[in-house]
Amino acid sequence: MVSLYCQRTGLTLALQDYTDKKTGEMSVLRDLLAGLQDRGVVFTLDALHAQKKRPPPS
């Protein structure tokens, strides 16, 4: 399960489950973040999302 959480409001903005371990959490995260483009938000991600080797964007 991947979630987008707003620290200011304390609300979860989006949830998405992933079952395909091949694409995994990184792919789901890209999809969720795409929905927030051009909204002037700041993202804080855990260490998993700071990997140097990433699959190319879909």
The model's pTM is 0.58
Q: Which two tokens stand for residue 52?
A: 């140097």
Please name the residue ranges forming H helices in 1-58: 24-34
Instruction: Give residue 10's identity as a one-letter amino acid code.
Output: G
Report d(CA 43, CA 13) in Å as an integer. Answer: 13
* pLDDT tens-place string over residues 19-56: 776 767 778 888 888 887 777 777 777 766 556 666 66
Could you tell me if 18 and 25 are in contact, meaning their C-beta atoms sit under 8 angstroms apart? yes
Report d(CA 1, CA 14) in Å as an integer. Answer: 10
